[in-house]
Amino acid sequence: MPCRLDKHLFTHYALPFLLFSLFSLALFYNLFSNLENQGLRLGFSFLTQEAGFEIGDKFFFSYESTQSYLHAFLIGLSNTVMSSILIIFFSTLLGFILGLLRFSSLKLYSLFASFYSNIFRNIPLVIQLYFFYHILINYLPSARESYNFFGLDLFFLNNRGLFIPRFGLTDFSFSYPVLEGFNYFGGSHFTPELIVLVFGSSLYAAAFISEIVLAGLKAIPGGQLEAARSLGMSERNCFSKIIFPQSVKIIIPPLTNQWPSIIKNSSLAVAIGYPDLLSVVNTGLNQTGKAIECLSLIILVYLLLSLVSSFFLNYIAKKFQYKNE
């Protein structure tokens, strides 16, 4: 179609531009008059001020409550990213296991997996998180009576979280948790909030991923299996050499589409008080009252995250594209 810019210049470009600028002008006029009325001023200078609140989970970074808001927000961002990676890993693993169970010829197992998926998909994630958090805080034993996994005195689970040994990769150090007084010291510590977030979100996302895996496995035509059997392959080889490799190519694109929603769902951490980006910024917002600045930071970071993840997903989708040779 020939480009007739002169004819459509007004309706396609000038009119929407005019409307949009009028709209945003009105919004910003309102914003500034509102701010003037309330005696507030815009500005990001608060980012360098002292944050004054503690953050429980820091993964590899250091943070003190005397450090700046910017530092606290960055810790929140790293928490979001790390917890999302953990959730993606565990949910993919569990989702594949459940999907394979649903595909299996053992009726009891497929029944169990389909029950699981139907129950966990139909309950809001935030209520599951509330529930698990309540269970973990109130029904797990205290530090003195904590679960000692395998009797090794290395892994402990109690109502203050999970304690595991830590290996220093740079200095080859090794430390393991030891009970001193009412708590464990040394090793790595995962707070109950992180455990509940990763555990609950993984269970929830695994239910969806199991559906995807099942659909991918069912998409392989039955003739493939029959052909493999007629070649004399064992059942095990039929599955691992014929069915599974083909279905992986079908499974990967919708599976990776789940990841952005997992990253977005990790912001529900704010419900149970895990210091992810949203909840740290929300704390900062409540302390400083800088609503516009804080929420525009949130918008910026989440848009960047979704942009990065969509580039990454496009790369993966290209890599796993189903080529019909």
Q: How far is the CB of 14 from other proteins (least distance, A)?
A: 9
Binder of other proteins out of 45, 48, 65, 118 (CB under 8 A)? 118
Pair of tokens at residue 157: 């689970």
Q: Does 307 bind other proteins (CB under 8 A)?
A: yes
For other proteins, how many residues bind (rule: CB under 8 A)? 51
**What is the residue-wise DSSP string for 84-144?**
HHHHHHHHHHHHHHHHHHHHSS-HHHHHHHHHHHHHHHTS-HHHHHHHHHHHHHHHS--GG
Helix (H, G, I), strand (E, B) or coil at 75: helix
Binding of residue 46 to other proteins (CB under 8 A)? no
Q: Is 12 in the site for other proteins (CB under 8 A)?
A: yes
Strand partners, 157: 147, 162
**Judged by CB under 8 A, does residue 308 bind other proteins?**
no
Residue with tokens 């302390």: 287
* Residue choice 166, 218, 229, 264 for contact with other proteins (CB under 8 A): 264
Burial 145-160 (b: 16+ CB within 10 A, else e): ebeeeeeeeebbbbeb
Would you say 154 or 301 has its CB closer to other proteins? 301
Three-class DSSP category at 178: strand
Interacting residue with other proteins among 268, 275, 280, 283 (CB under 8 A): 268
The DSSP bridge pattern shows strands 178-180 and 183-185 to be: antiparallel
Of these, 22, 25, 27, 152, which contacts other proteins (CB under 8 A)? 27
Which distant-in-sequence residues (6+ apart) come within 8 Å of 222 by Cβ? none
Q: Does 207 contact other proteins by CB under 8 A?
A: no
| Segment interacting with other proteins (CB under 8 A) among 87-95, 134-142, 152-160, 235-243 | 134-142
Q: Does 122 bind other proteins (CB under 8 A)?
A: yes
Side chain identity, residue 286:
N
Instruction: Answer yes or no whether residue 225 interacts with other proteins by CB under 8 A.
Output: no
Is residue 22 at the binding interface for other proteins, with CB under 8 A as the rule?
Answer: no
Smallest gap from Cβ 6 to other proteins, in A, equals 13
| Contact call for residue 17 and other proteins (CB under 8 A) | yes
Residue 234 binding other proteins, by CB under 8 A: no
Give the pair of three-digit tokens for residue 310. 């969509």
Distance between CA 177 and CA 188 in Å, rounded? 8
**Residue 269, H or E segment:** helix 269-272
CB of 212 to other proteins, least distance (A): 13
Q: For residue 166, what are the β-bridge partners?
A: 175
What residues line the site for other proteins (CB under 8 A)?
Answer: 8, 12-13, 16-17, 20, 27, 30-31, 33-35, 37, 106, 108-109, 112, 118-119, 121-128, 130-131, 134-135, 138, 264-265, 267-268, 270-271, 278, 282, 285, 291-292, 295, 298-299, 302-303, 305-307
